[in-house]
Amino acid sequence: MGSLDMAVLTGFICRICSKMNKVVTHVYGEEGKKINLANQLQNYLGVDIFFNNDLPKTVCNSCIVKLKMHYEWMEIIKNAQTRIKNKRLKTRMERDRRS
């Protein structure tokens, strides 16, 4: 069995970057559940991690940090879009009142 296969079996390979790591977070472990890792991976990256298949269920800290940054960036974008739409609506309402 190759080292990659062994890393998958022992749970030290990241599902996102496929690198072997000594420190990983199990998606369905205590920490993974606490940060809602499975949902974040599915919602933001489109990666489904199922409990009952033989694919890795661990994510390295580097990928978790990048996922968090991606989430924060997406929130900034959503908030900016809301502000832009609200400003446009306010401008239209003011223009309509003057008409």
Q: Is 33 known to sit in a ligand binding site?
A: no
Q: Is 88 known to sit in a ligand binding site?
A: no
Q: Is 31 known to sit in a ligand binding site?
A: no
Amino acid sitting at position 74: M
Residue with tokens 């920490």: 31
The partner residues of 60 in beta bridges, in order of sequence, read 24
Q: Is 63 known to sit in a ligand binding site?
A: yes
In the annotated binding site, the residues are 14, 17, 60, 63
In the annotated binding site for Zn(2+), the residues are 14, 17, 60, 63
